[in-house]
Homo-oligomer: A and B are copies of this chain.
Amino acid sequence: MEGISKKIYLVLEEPTEEDSRSSQMRILDGLKEQGLDAKMTVKVMRKLYPLCDEAQWKITVSLAWNGDCWTVVNLEKGDTSAEHYGIAVDLGSTTVVARLMDCAAGKCICEESCYNHQIAYGTDILTRIFHCKDNEKELEAMRKATVDSITECLNALEKKAGIAPESCISMVVSGNTTMIHFLLGMDAFCVFYTPYAVRADRPGFCRGKDLGFPVSGYVYCYPSKSNYLGGDIISGMVATEIYKKDEVSVFFDIGTNGELVIGNKEFLLCGAGAAGPALEGGVVRTGMRATEGAVDEVKLENGRFRIHVLGETEAKGICGSGIIDLLAELFLEGWVDIRGRLMPEKSPLIQEKEGSLAVEYAPGLYFFQKDIDEFIRTKAAAHTMVEIMLQESGLGMEEIGKFYVAGAFGKHVSKESAIAIGMYPDMERERIVNAGNSSLEGAEKLLLDKKVLDDIDKILDNMVYIQFGAVDGFLNMMIAAQALPHTDFQRFPSVMKELEKRNKEGKGVISGT
């Protein structure tokens, strides 16, 4: 497999008066013998002497693909072809994750992550966008914060693995449209403002130096399809390979925004919508990120909550996966009805609190009726997105091969809970696949396989964007989905079974509304 960088060990003839080719041509001819047409940077030209002589013409050249041709970007003495490194980055709006890749072995050496430094300018993307809108100085600060975030990861990787970013050839960055705009230093107001025509969506290969990174070669930024369908989704396609398959798959990336793709090797229907920050614990009173002290798992057993707290410490709040568990348990145990209304008669843990009902899911921590309502709207939006996409593609859920859930959601959320509340469709559990950090996986994959570049073109060509709001019946579908698990129970047979199993009152809840 040919990646977007190479290290090639060359044993060349020393120059003689009979063969007095230049050092440059000697190397480029050596590469040509291996079928590689390449150019050479000025930096490398400066390095030719005395390196080649000192190495007695046994040298290793680093090559980087720039989208059009191979470029010699570094020279080393002797055979260092095994020391071939690259970097894959998932530039998330909250978290930035970078992997140091051993490109010779095709393996990840280690991974590091950090909070996106942009957070200093606002926790949500819109605040950040407004912060630097039409303000060159603040835009530059935002760009720098973005570069600094990745650099923090690179430094951590260097500390951990002892491999400096200068030793890496290529870097692949995948992020949503706003993140890439900020990385390149472009105003991102366009992403959220009509007519939603962004600045640049095909940055391609940029020199490391031009973006502020010390890699010797190029930084490839995944292109975006549209304002809401960013490089992270394209990268997710590459990771899951749904664009290569015969069977139709669903790709679901849900965070502050939800992005959805349904398709196979022939078509890719895409949509995106504001899922609301509820999923990240944003509007929930005691909601918090999945850090130390967050309740991330919830069970109701014999009328009592059994919770898991991250960091095995005292509970401080609840994160996304905890919320979904909590809501599922409340519903399955009949503590809320299908509209999500808390039923105080079911447990003394459900009490009047600050003028509304709330359930005490951990000592002194309450989940309010308002929190539940907000969350149900969010999960209804998510469900409706899937429903619309299926309707548009003329397919039924039974025709879906795999249901990929990307990101932290896919990793941490319990499938059973997500199905119980009607957020995921009720399908065979093994068909629901945690796609992990597919944005990062896609970045990694491209780093190791240059052919992916052609795939990306194909993906962009095949993608058709569906405006959810423009679809007939959108609002009705949305309203119908605002029940647990859905107004149409038939869609969730396994949830019905679980309800029956858990308690007879389960049925009561359903029939009671």
Contacts and interface: CB of A to CB of B under 8 A. Distances in A.
9 A-B pairs with the lowest CB-CB distances in the bound complex, closest first: A15-B197, A24-B200, A45-B200, A20-B197, A22-B201, A17-B195, A68-B68, A22-B198, A15-B195
A210 interface: yes
Contacts of A476: none
A67 interface: yes
Contacts of A202: 22, 24-25, 28
Nearest to A27: B200
7 contacts: A15-B197, A22-B202, A42-B185, A42-B206, A46-B184, A49-B190, A50-B134
B194 A17 contact: yes
A39 interface: yes
A48 interface: yes
A201 B20 CA distance: 11
Contacts of A198: 22-23
Contact of A204 (B19, B39, B68, B199): B39
A226 interface: yes
A312 B369 CA distance: 101
B194 A46 contact: no
Nearest to A46: B185
A379 B45 CA distance: 37
Contacts of A197: 15, 19-23, 26
Nearest to A187: B49
Given A68-B68, A200-B40, A186 B20 contact: no
A199 B24 contact: yes
A227 interface: yes
The quantity of this chain's copies bound in the complex is 2
A16 interface: yes
A502 to B, nearest CB: 48
Residue of A23, A41, A67 with most chain B CB atoms under a 10 A cut-off: A23
Contacts of A211: 42
A383 to B, nearest CB: 26
Contacts of A190: 49
A196 interface: yes
Given A24-B199, A24-B201, A45-B184, 17 more contacts: A17-B194, A20-B195, A22-B197, A22-B199, A22-B201, A22-B202, A23-B198, A23-B199, A25-B201, A39-B204, A41-B210, A42-B184, A45-B200, A49-B186, A49-B187, A49-B199, A50-B134
A311 interface: no
A42 B134 contact: no
Contacts of A49: 186-187, 190, 199
Contact of A195 (B16, B41, B185): B16
A202 B37 CA distance: 14
Interface in A425-478: none
Nearest to A207: B42
A46 B202 CA distance: 13
A69 interface: yes
B20 A226 contact: yes
Contacts of A40: 200
A203 interface: yes
A196 B18 CA distance: 10
A320 B210 CA distance: 49
